[in-house]
Chain A
Amino acid sequence: MIRYLLRRMLALVPVALGVATLTFALIHLVPGDPVVAMLGDTAAPADLAGMRHQLGLDRPLAAQYASFITGLAHGDLGESISYHQPVARLIAERFPATLELAAAGLLVAILIAFPLGFIAGAKPGSAGDVGAMGFAVLGISVPHIYLGPLLMILFSLDLRWFPLTGRGGLGHLVLPAVTLGTALAAIIARMLRQSLIGVRASDYMRTALSKGLSPTAALLRHGLRNALTSVITLLGLELGGLLTGALIVEMIFSWPGLGRMLIAAISARDYPLVEGCVLTFALTYVVVNMATDFVYALVDPRVSLK
């Protein structure tokens, strides 16, 4: 088990390196001069050269890449131009808020999806199925950028149940988490229904039923666990959407996380900070994907850990 985990973590290194390289290439190879963008077209050539030197942009690309990668290996992501602080520290400050939002969104998604998917999958074609899947189709289609304002109007401005924006207690978390989790809930519910319908036809379900278990009990005890594997695979694929969804939800609810910092860094042309934020998002996704594989192996004993 430990060896499997270590080997998987080792396999992350080339992917992480690839992600870092692509991030570097994005910032450094795409046409457009960041220094001109930062200082404006009218800046004096001396100022441009000074800024270029300060950022190390006057060095050869290979040297810039080498120091980027060695810095990265030491956890040094450079210094933010707009905050005058190490990028790594800024990210460490904001990242917990993003993780909190993403985790809450995931929780909301699971809390909505499991009952819905179970009701739908237990009795395909029933009124419950039609209702649950109707919700699922709507949930996938409503974009975050509309659901967020809609929930704000309803629950914050009209009913005054939850605060409008910002981060604080649990109350602040509810609307952003629901905004973030609804689409994922819809996707999981559909997948769970599909897998449960598949599982119902299996031999072990027939055995469970012939033992005298009620259909619901059989589905809960034997079916759900088997249906779970495909749901977990799907979750792994969709967690990237959850992360970037968090980025957008942060903008809607003024949530002080990494996404909001990234967008602010983009408009401030703070390239070191943009680079750091993009890298953090991508590496988180890579790590989370590996974790999903691991959970998958834990849930399904047929999947070997070797």
Chain B
Amino acid sequence: MKGPGKSPSLVVGGTIVAILIVAALFGPALANHDPLAVHLANALAAPSLAHPFGCDALGRDVFARVMWGARLSLGVSVSVVFLSLIVGGLIGGAAGLAGGPIDNLVMRAVDIVLAFPGILLAISMAAILGPGLIDLVIALTAMGWTGYARVVRGEVLSLREREYVHAANALGARPARVLIRHMLPAVAGPVAVQATFGIGGIIGAEAALSFLGLGVLPPTPSWGNMLDAGREFLLIAPHLTTAPGVAIGLAILGFNLLGDGLAALAGRAG
């Protein structure tokens, strides 16, 4: 058995995620260009010392835009996963605790939401709500909560029959106390793994929505809308698609590897 320190997915994934967090926190300050400042003289400039990732069609610094994009992408995905966790956890936890017909009803409702494939629900929501950061978070949460509801419900259903939970119930603990004190710690592991994969998934979904013009609208830099804008200049300025494309790919890779590593770790502990 390898120790956790030797798991390559955990180390590589953790490193990529750490770099991403640093980029989101300090990147905008590090990039000494305004991501919105238009300099037509620099239009489509190739990467150089002054502009490490080159400039876009309006002469805006691509490095600065990628860094701001990191802040936006990570901010949106962490908020969405956090909100999904709360909504899904409450609904799934309540269904699992209640059991019987209530559980049945809630889970059928979850099934119907899950019958919407992939990001279709988010696309429809975004279409109705219109573009905007808050609306984007709501649309992505509408798509994201079901997975957590399922996991939490499943865990609660199995935990309900554990002896220590029976003991707590027998001692007269209220359901909320049983849920928070006795069940939450046991649910945390599987949920943390799913949330890690979830952040990667939401980063991809946010990029796709912004790419389709249904998420973050220009001029605000997001990796998805940068990719969309760069497509016009594939041949003459491939750096416009490469920079945000590699950023999205790396971010998803990082969270996937970290998720793999955490899952292996949780599996070994459990």
Q: Do A and B come from one complex?
A: yes
21 A-B pairs (CB sep. < 8 Å): A22-B116, A31-B129, A32-B128, A32-B130, A138-B253, A140-B253, A143-B207, A146-B227, A146-B245, A149-B245, A150-B241, A153-B234, A153-B241, A241-B118, A243-B120, A244-B117, A244-B120, A247-B120, A248-B211, A251-B211, A285-B116
Tell whether, in the assembled complex, residue A23 and residue B124 are in contact, meaning their CB atoms are under 8 Å apart: yes
User: Is B43 part of the contact surface with A, judged by Cβ < 8 Å?
Assistant: no
Q: Which of B120, B227, B228, B253 has the most chain A CB atoms closer than 10 A to its own CB?
A: B120
Chain A hits for B214, CB < 8 A: 263, 266
Q: Could you say which residues of chain A place their CB within 8 Å of the CB of B256?
A: 137, 140-141
Q: Give chain B's interface secondary structure class.
A: helix
A146 adjacent to B248 (CB under 8 Å):
yes
A274 at the interface (CB under 8 A from B): yes
Q: In this assembly, does B58 line the interface, its C-beta being within 8 Å of a C-beta of chain A?
A: no
C-alpha spacing A251/B207, complex, angstroms: 14
Q: Contacts A143-B204, A144-B208, A153-B235; is A245 near B115 (CB within 8 Å)?
A: no
Instruction: Answer whether A285 and B208 are a contact pair too, CB < 8 Å, given A140-B256, A262-B123.
Output: no
A18 touching B249, Cβ below 8 Å: no
B230 lies within 8 A of chain A by Cβ? yes
A244-B120, A266-B127 given; A15·B245 CB < 8 A: no
Q: Is B94 an interface residue (CB 8 A)?
A: no
B119 adjacent to A145 (CB under 8 Å): no
Residues of A within 8 A of B224 (CB): 145
- Chain B residues with CB below 8 A from A32, complex form: 128-130
Cβ of B248 and Cβ of A143 under 8 Å apart?
Answer: yes
CB-CB < 8 A to B241: which residues of A? 146, 149-150, 153
Specify which chain A residues have a CB less than 8 angstroms from the CB of B118 in the assembled complex: 240-241, 243-245
B116 neighbours in A (Cβ, 8 Å): 19, 22, 240, 278, 281-282, 285
B34 contacts chain A at the CB level, 8 A cutoff: no
Q: B residues within 8 A CB of A278?
A: 116, 120, 124
B254 CB, min distance to chain A CBs, angstroms: 8
A239 pairs with B117, CB closer than 8 A: yes
Contact: B230 with A248, CB < 8 Å?
no
**Smallest CB separation, B267 vs chain A (Å):** 13
Interchain CA distance A248-B200 in the complex, whole Å: 18
Given the known A-B contacts A145-B207, A145-B224, are A281 and B234 also in contact in the complex, defined by CB atoms under 8 Å?
Answer: no
CB within 8 Å of A: which B109-144 residues:
109, 111-113, 115-121, 123-125, 127-130
In the complex the two chains form, is B124's CB within 8 Å of A145's CB? Answer: no
| Set of chain A residues within 8 Å of B123, measured between Cβ atoms | 244, 247, 262, 266
Closest-CB distance, A187 to chain B (whole angstroms): 11
Would A142 and B120 count as touching, CB distance under 8 A? Answer: no
> For residues 223 through 254 of chain A, which have their beta carbon under 8 Å from a beta carbon of chain B?
239-241, 243-245, 247-248, 251-252
B205-228 with Cβ < 8 A to chain A? 207-208, 211-214, 224, 227-228
Given A140-B252, A243-B117, A157:B112 Cβ within 8 A: no
Is B231 an interface residue when CB atoms closer than 8 A count as contact? yes
Any B CB within 8 A of the CB of A27:
yes
Please name all residues of chain A whose beta carbon is closer than 8 Å to the beta carbon of B228 when the two chains form the complex.
145
Let me know if B257 is at the binding interface, CB within 8 A: yes
On whether the beta carbons of B117 and A285 are closer than 8 Å, the reply is: yes
Q: B238 contacts the other chain (Cβ, under 8 Å)?
A: yes
